[in-house]
Amino acid sequence: MARASAAAPRWPIGSRVPENQLTARVAGQPALGSSILGAASCARPTISENSAKLPTHPELLNWLASEVVASGWKLKPLHKLIMLSSAYRMSSKDNPIALAKDGNNDLFWRFDMRRLSAEEIRDTILSVNNTLNLKMGGPSIYTEVPDEVLQTSSQPMNVWGKSPPEEQCRRSVYILVKRSLVEPIHGGLRCRGYDSSCQCASAPRCRQQALTSLNSKFFNGNPGSWRIACAKKARK
């Protein structure tokens, strides 16, 4: 029984991969989602066998699945492959002829326009403000969270830590993700929390985005240096 239970987790990714590429296709699907090809691609059907609609590019999905297996199940080479492709680097400029034939851009004749994510907005502000800390690696960081947000927790004094000011200016990828307390900048711009799974993240619009931009201490913390940095970049 122990030997059978140990072999069970390896069965889906074992020798059956060449015959059944579903596992590799599921592993490579996020590379084709909103994180690379834009939020509009989320409207396209998933690769699940139970999808109501068939994929628009089944041969491409199968080929990418084989690339995932060939690279030793590493997704970084797949990301690099896609981002160096002509499909990723094409313009988002409109084409009336193509628009009339493929209004949903299922054939990727242009790059779908998308809104910046919460992480991109925060990192861009820090970069323009000349305060972005590009330090790599290390533990997660804690940004400054208002007391009003901390009081929503059952343990407001222990739910969130405190990082030095220079650490708080690191890239958003290093901010601690806590399901019981959503970081205000990310929560306000993402319009959703972390307490539920999301197969394909879109770029929603909600009232919190405008309110966060107007009232957040992060956005209004140092307007003087923000204006100086913008003026310097405009003169270049």
Q: Which amino acid is at 35?
A: S
CB of 143 closer than 8 Å to CB of 186: no
> CA nearest 78: which of 59, 56, 90, 63?
63
The predicted pLDDT at position 203 comes to 58
Q: Map out the domains of the chain as residue ranges.
A: 2-101, 118-235
- Tell me how crowded residue 183 is: count the other CB atoms within 10 A of its CB: 22
Amino acid code (one letter) for 33: G
Query: What stretches of the chain show up as alpha helix (H) in DSSP?
Result: 2-7, 22-28, 34-37, 58-70, 76-83, 86-89, 96-101, 118-128, 147-150, 165-168, 184-190, 207-215, 217-220, 223-235
**pLDDT given at position 119:** 87
Task: Specify the pLDDT at position 141.
Answer: 93
The string of pLDDT tens digits covering residues 165-188 is 999 999 999 998 887 787 888 777
Query: How confident is the model at residue 47, as a pLDDT?
Result: 42
How high does pLDDT run on average in the chain?
74
CB count in 10 Å sphere of residue 39: 19
Q: Please state whether the predicted TM-score (pTM) of the whole model is above 0.85.
A: no
54-63, 114-123, 153-162: least confidently modelled range? 54-63
pLDDT at 232: 67
